[in-house]
Amino acid sequence: MANTSALPGTSGGFARDARAGFLVFLIALPLCLGISLASGFPPVSGILTAIIGGCVCSWLGSARLTIKGPAAGLIVIAVGAVTELGQGDMAVGYHRALAVGVVAAVIQILFATAGLARLGITMSKSVVHGMLAAIGVIIIAKQSHVLMGVKPEGKEIIELLREIPDSLVHANPEVLLVGLVSLAILLLWPRLGFRWAKAVPAPIVVLGVAIPLSAFFHIGAAHVYYFGGHAYEIGPQYLVQLPGNLLQSVAFPDFSVVFSATSLKYIVMFALVGSIESTLSVVAVDAMDQARRSSNLNKDLFAAGVGNLLASLIGGLPMISEIVRSKANVDAGADSVRANFVHGACLLLFVALAPGLLGLIPLAALAAMLVYTGSRLASPKELVHVHHIGMDQLALFLTTMIMTLLTDLLIGVAAGLMLEIVLHILRGAPPAYLFRSRVEMTESEDAARIRVNGAAAFPSLLPVQRAIGKIPGDTRKLVIDLRNVCLVDHTFLVGIEDITRDRQATVVEIVGHETLRRASTHPQATRWSDLRREQP
């Protein structure tokens, strides 16, 4: 396994990493502010987290090409913690949510120390995507009203979605214009074919247009204006509100209710969802690495856990290995963790030397960025993709998404996983097969064979992973033998691909599942047999 923590000696040089890190800094700056505001945290909290993620985590075993920082995928958990723990007082809820973050970070560190980072790979991909789609819908439901300059009456997600047309009718025209222009830039800028356009991140273009536009409307000065025969109020409340300097942003956790049922619920959500999202992001970014280098997932989770601990102790948001900024990092030519370090250092310098500039950013522009992010998480393309894999995966996706929207994230994910188990049982896989599959390994001079007995479902990935870890890296051929299973699920097939991706010298072949029934024609569709075998 490659050592992902070493800074010196990587190819490409510091200049290449510095260029990539600076580009990511430009993208991260507005997103960190927007994610903080949507999470119920002070605006600078996300920047504090990204600074720690870059300047500290880079030296603790962070994956080479990932960017550590706050993520849209944790917004729902963060704002839920602040709201429920504060019981109407957002300031109290914020400090109590920091205490939740401290405990969750310790759990992440323990996960990493125990070597459990790869547990994230065993999560049903359709359940994870359903969870993210629900998060996208929630972000759109909440931030659409901010984009229009309207304070909605509803609190629940369904109510907020229903109020969007009414908010559009009663929108503050100047705020709405800033938001719509920002959203149009985010949608259209990546489609421009000019080389110079690709070199400038769309979020920076948004700020370059939205800030002068808000200055033209004098949004920073409280006043009343008239449009279409109606009077509208405008003022600094529609701009980002920040303290005078970075030190004034430091806040400390309140541990007074950290062992309450509500706190424990959010501790579990932060620890599990954050770890799973972070691990899956690292795996995805490793797949983008042209050098085909593999990250140590446990070291990366340890780095994220330490980063979360530090961030929560001083008022920051939770962090993960964030996929969007990491992809931008890869696309910009980053070669080592120095790019993540530069991104954090640039954020630190900016907020230390020019904090006043952040106070000129319209909230509508940040809301537009979040609505755009939410639309990508809840993209209809993902629904079509899941349907192509099989109706069972579509059912998992929709169940997780709908239950998350109607209840909360933990119940939504639990409902999706329970449905997956039920579907497997209905297809002839007894519980003993699902949770007690036997994995046997045999080795020859230059080949290895791993035979799975029972069911090749998502719980089977862990023993298969342990078996693969014992095989020498120079083994020429690895055969995953599934002739003795009654079911092979989608998560297992995707997980095998992820686990074996870094074995460049090994040809990996999956055999024995060709005769099983398939949920669809997709090569990674769930397969099962109508014949029940004797339980192991």
pLDDT tens digits, the chain, 536 residues: what are they?
334 444 444 445 788 899 999 999 999 999 999 999 999 999 999 999 999 999 999 999 999 999 999 999 899 999 999 999 999 899 999 999 999 999 999 999 999 999 888 888 888 999 999 999 999 999 999 999 999 999 999 989 999 999 999 999 999 999 999 999 999 999 999 888 787 877 889 999 999 999 999 999 999 999 999 999 999 999 999 999 888 777 888 999 999 999 999 999 999 999 999 999 999 899 889 888 877 788 899 999 999 999 999 999 999 999 999 998 999 999 888 999 999 999 999 999 998 888 888 999 999 999 999 999 999 999 999 999 999 999 999 999 999 999 999 998 999 999 999 999 999 999 988 888 888 888 999 988 788 999 999 999 988 888 998 898 888 878 889 999 999 999 999 999 999 988 887 777 789 999 999 989 999 999 999 999 875 544 44
- Indicate whether 30 and 76 sit together in one domain: yes
In-domain check, residue 8: no
CA distance 354 to 356: 5
- Indicate whether 444 and 418 sit together in one domain: no
How many independent structural domains does the chain possess? Answer: 3
- Indicate whether 122 and 219 sit together in one domain: yes
In-domain check, residue 415: yes
Q: How far apart are the first and last CA of the chain?
A: 34
- Tell which of 345, 366, 387 closes a domain: 366
- Indicate whether 469 and 398 sit together in one domain: no
In-domain check, residue 135: yes
In-domain check, residue 242: yes
Give whole-number Cα distances, 169 to 362, 373, 527, in Å. 21, 24, 50
Cβ atoms 318, 304 nearer than 8 A:
no
Report the half-sphere exposure of 363 (CA within 13 A, side-chain side).
28
User: Quick one: tokens of 252?
Assistant: 């400390």
Count of Cβ atoms closer than 10 Å to residue 29 Cβ? 25
Pick the closest to residue 31 from 17, 45, 52, 21 (CA basis): 45
Its domain, for residue 507, covers 431-528
- Indicate whether 63 and 195 sit together in one domain: yes
- Indicate whether 204 and 162 sit together in one domain: yes
- Indicate whether 311 and 400 sit together in one domain: no
In-domain check, residue 374: no
- Indicate whether 415 and 316 sit together in one domain: no
353: Cβ–Cβ under 8 A, 6 or more apart, which residues? Answer: none
- Indicate whether 57 and 184 sit together in one domain: yes
- Indicate whether 63 and 162 sit together in one domain: yes
Torsion angle, alpha carbons of 57, 58, 61, 62, to 10? 80
The pTM for the full model equals 0.90
The residue type at 368: A
In-domain check, residue 5: no
- Indicate whether 420 and 437 sit together in one domain: no
User: Quick one: tokens of 179?
Assistant: 């938001």
113 CA to centre of own chain: 22
- Indicate whether 413 and 305 sit together in one domain: no
